[in-house]
Structures are given as C-alpha cells and as structure tokens.
Amino acid sequence: MSDRLSLHLRRTLILGLPLVGSQLAQILIGLTDTLMLGRYSVAALAASTLSTSFFFAMFVLGSGFAVACMPMAAIALARDDEVRVRRIARMGLWLSLATGLAMAPLMIFSEPILLALGQRASVAADAQSYLRVAGFGMIPALLTATFRSHLSALERTRIVLVATLVAAGLNIALNWLLIFGNLGFPEMGLRGAALASVAVHVLTTLVLALYATRGPDMARFDLLRNIHRPDWPAFGEIFRLGWPIGLTHLSESGLFTGSALMMGWLGTVPLAAHGVAIQIAALTFMVHLGLSSAATVRVGRAWGMGDAGALRRAAIAAGLLSGIVVALSLVMYLGFGEWIVSNFVDPTDPDAAAILTLGTHLLVLAALFQLVDAGQVMALGFLRGVQDTRRPMIYAIVSYWVLGIPASYLLGFPLGLGPDGIWLGLVVGLAAATVALMTRFVRITRPDLATSRS
C-alpha cells in the first residue's frame, strides 16, 4: 500500500508541478497588475480590484466547458480512444468561442451593473473603461483554458507552464510600457493594463494551439481535423458536464466578488487593502488549484480503467500534497504578512499606512480561510474526475450564497465587524463546501467503484 501510494505521490507531482507553476504564473499576471497599478494610484488599484473580479467571474462561468474536457479526455485516453479525444477538444473549442462572444455585452455595459451593485460612480466608470478593453481577451482566455485542459489530460503540462511564464513576463513588460508611458509609449494607466492583458491572452492561445497541433507526438490526435464539423453527441456531453462546473466556479468566485463589493461599500481604502490581501491569498490557492487539476486527471484515469484502489490512492496523494502547502502558507502569512503587503503599496501615497495595516490584518484571517479553501477545491477536483458535477454545483451554491454571502453581510455590517466580518463570512461558506463535497466524494466511491457507478 505504501509503495503504491508513493507511486501516486510521484506521478501526481510529475503531472501537478507544471500545472501548479502555470497557475502561479497565471496569478502572477494579476499580481503584477495589482503591484504596478498600486504604484500608479490608489484609485486605479480600487478600480482594478473591481474590474478584474468582474472579468474573473465571467471567465470562470464560461470556463466550465473547458474544464469538462479534462476528465472526459482522461477517461477516453484510459480506454485508448484517440478519436474521441480529438472530438472532445474540438467541441470544447466551439463552446468556448460561443461563450466568449455571448459575454461581450456584459463587458461593454458593465458600469450600470456595477452601479446597481452599489459601487461608487467613479470606481464603476473606471472599471468599465478597463473592461471595455480587457473584454477582447475573453475569447482567447477561454480558448486557452480549453487547450490547457486538453494538454493536461494528455499529461503534457510542461508546455502549459512555459506558455504561462512567457505570458507573465510579457505582461510585466507591457504594463511597464503602457501603464506608466515608459520609452515613449503613451501613459494609459488602467486602460494600459487592460490592453496588456489582451495581448497576453492572445499570445498564450497561439502558443498552446501551436503545440497542441504541431508538438512532439501530437500529430496523431490531428486536433484540427474537421474543426468545422459538429459532433453533437460530444457537444451535448460537454455541455451537460460543463455548465454545472461553470456555475460552481461562478458561485465560488461570486463569494469573493461579493466580498469585494461589500468592501467597496466601506470605502476605497478597505477595497484596496482587500484587493491586495486577496491577491496574495490567491497565490497559494493556485497551488491547490494546480494539484486539483492533476487529481482530476489521475482520478479520471482510474475511473476510466475501473480501478477503485487507484482512484482512492490518487485522491489521498493529492490531498497530502495540498496539506503540505497549507502548512507552508500558514507560516508565510503569519510570519511575513506585513513585508508581503508592503510590496503592493506606494509608500508615498497618503493612504499607504492604512492599506498596509488593514491588508496585513486580513492576511491573518486568510491563514484561516485558505485551509478550507484548499479542501473544497481538492474535493471538486476529485469529483470531476468521476464526472460528478451537478450535485457539487448544488452544494457549492448553497454553501457560498445561502451561507457564505449572508454570513459576510451579517458579520460585516449588522454585527459591526467590518472587514473582519466580511472575511469570516468567507470562512463559513468555504468550510460548509469542504465538508459537503468531501463527504460526497467518500460516499460515491465507497465501498468500490462498481457500486459508485450503479
């Protein structure tokens, strides 16, 4: 048993480390936006916090179809069905393109939506200015997610890491040129950061598409063959599996977007401090997300082969690795919080001291909520590996919206805890999701795989 578990730990690491690296590089793009806009102005930082939360909420809703391709392709590979792998990727690209087009109006007319959600007029106007440019990146972002799922299912994760690292470097360079107007470029501030993001999404899509079609040993999948031809059974299966994933993602991101909106009611300084702290917390969350994706592939392969023992060992291995990351992040948040937050704020800004104090304090709370955040994302990865998405969607919606959001509001405002209360509400929602989802996975995989499929 211990030898087999060690094997699963090694294989999860081999598959998962590049995915973790790519997730960290992806969040690095958001972190550099926050760092550089924080140096530009507090108003730009506040608008960026709001607009990127809005964009991310739309992205995670639309990315459900891309994520659905991963366990489907992993199961098809376990059964040596390469034709089905190609058809899954092709229909995933179709659905991602259609979803990106459908979301364009929400980006163009985001200001009325943000005003209706109680945001200040100046912040809402700046956020719409960002989103009207950044919205052009939605389609390539969703296509990238589909290629990433396809390549991850094939366990070709190194190229995903390389592409994301290149994109992160490009984002830093373009931000430096376009936000601040260096080397003779126009000083565009917030809109410059949005334009840089679009360029990054397009580049990443092109790199992954090139590898998926021309990379080593990739020609056998012939990914672009009959790209124009629909495969309605595969289309329908991806749709049925993907829309609950998208709504699950949206319910979770909505929890964090809702917290950002409530912070906005408290003022620009709390919103800016929240934006800094949530970006830092997201850094460690991306490690868990990468491990969760690896778990989806490993669990999916075991599910496709009908091996209940391998399925459980794959889940245990991924959970152990995630637990190690939790312990390391606790040390980081509690021991170095003030120094970390200080890197995100211009010390000459009049509000810098207030943002630093509140942001450091919020990181202490992040040490608590990231434990349950890791638990729920790992459980979701396990369940997607066995293609269980609808019940987890219900659990997520109840946990985040029926429990989490009301708890944040109640603790933050009627009970007067302010920013602390809003973040403690996050803990409530995430803890409920962790318990429900882990219980679901244990229940449907016991006592054996045959029973769970009946």
Output phi, psi for 81, to 5 deg.
Answer: -110, 85
Half-sphere exposure of 333 (CA within 13 A, CB side): 28
Are the C-beta atoms of residues 422 and 263 closer than 8 Å to each other? yes
Are the C-beta atoms of residues 270 and 421 closer than 8 Å to each other? no
Helix axes 138-153, 2-40, angle to 10 degrees: 160
pLDDT digits (tens, 9 = 90+) for 282-297: 778 888 888 998 899 8
Mean predicted confidence (pLDDT) in 365-389:
89
Average pLDDT, the chain: 85
Mean predicted confidence (pLDDT) in 439-451:
72
What pLDDT is attached to residue 408?
A: 93
pLDDT digits (tens, 9 = 90+) for 93-126: 999 999 999 999 998 888 888 888 777 888 888 8
Please enumerate in sequence order all residues whose Cβ is within 8 A of that of 381, keeping only pairs 6 or more positions apart, or say none.
291, 292, 293, 294, 295, 296, 299, 318
User: Is residue 9 over pLDDT 50?
Assistant: yes
184 phi-psi bin (left φ>0, alpha ψ -120 to 50, beta other): left
Which of 165, 162, 167, 170 is closest to 141 using CA atoms? 167
* Lowest-confidence pick of 52-56, 310-314, 344-348, 385-389: 344-348
pLDDT digits (tens, 9 = 90+) for 238-259: 999 999 999 988 888 778 878 8
Which of 167, 168, 187 is closest to 177 using CA atoms? 187
CA–CA dist 219, 142 (Å, integer): 23
Q: Sorting pLDDT into bands at 50, 70 and 90, what band is 306?
A: confident
- Give residue 67's identity as a one-letter amino acid code: V
What pLDDT is attached to residue 430?
A: 92
More confident residue, 8 or 382: 382
What pLDDT is attached to residue 57?
A: 80
What pLDDT is attached to residue 31?
A: 67
In angstroms, what is the C-alpha Rg of the chain? Answer: 21
What pLDDT is attached to residue 449?
A: 47
In the block, residue with structure tokens 């996050």: 426
Are the C-beta atoms of residues 411 and 425 closer than 8 Å to each other? yes
What pLDDT is attached to residue 167?
A: 87
**Residue 41 DSSP SS3:** coil
DSSP states of 361-375:
HHHHHHHHHHHHHHH
User: Is residue 452 over pLDDT 70?
Assistant: no
User: Is residue 451 over pLDDT 50?
Assistant: no
More confident residue, 32 or 150: 150
pLDDT digits (tens, 9 = 90+) for 227-243: 888 889 999 999 999 99
Measured CA distances, 154 to 85, 218, 248 (Å): 9, 10, 25
What pLDDT is attached to residue 3?
A: 55
Which of 279, 389, 351 is closest to 56 using CA atoms? 279
362 phi-psi bin (left φ>0, alpha ψ -120 to 50, beta other): alpha
Angle at 442 between CA 391 and CA 80, to 5 degrees: 80
What pLDDT is attached to residue 2?
A: 57
Q: Residue 401 gets which letter from DSSP?
A: I
Are the C-beta atoms of residues 58 and 106 closer than 8 Å to each other? yes
Measured CA distances, 374 to 21, 34, 283 (Å): 17, 23, 12
* % of residues, the chain, pLDDT over 90: 28
Are the C-beta atoms of residues 147 and 205 closer than 8 Å to each other? yes
CA–CA dist 155, 318 (Å, integer): 16
In the block, residue with structure tokens 């094939």: 154
What pLDDT is attached to residue 238?
A: 94
More confident residue, 303 or 406: 406
Q: Sorting pLDDT into bands at 50, 70 and 90, what band is 340?
A: confident
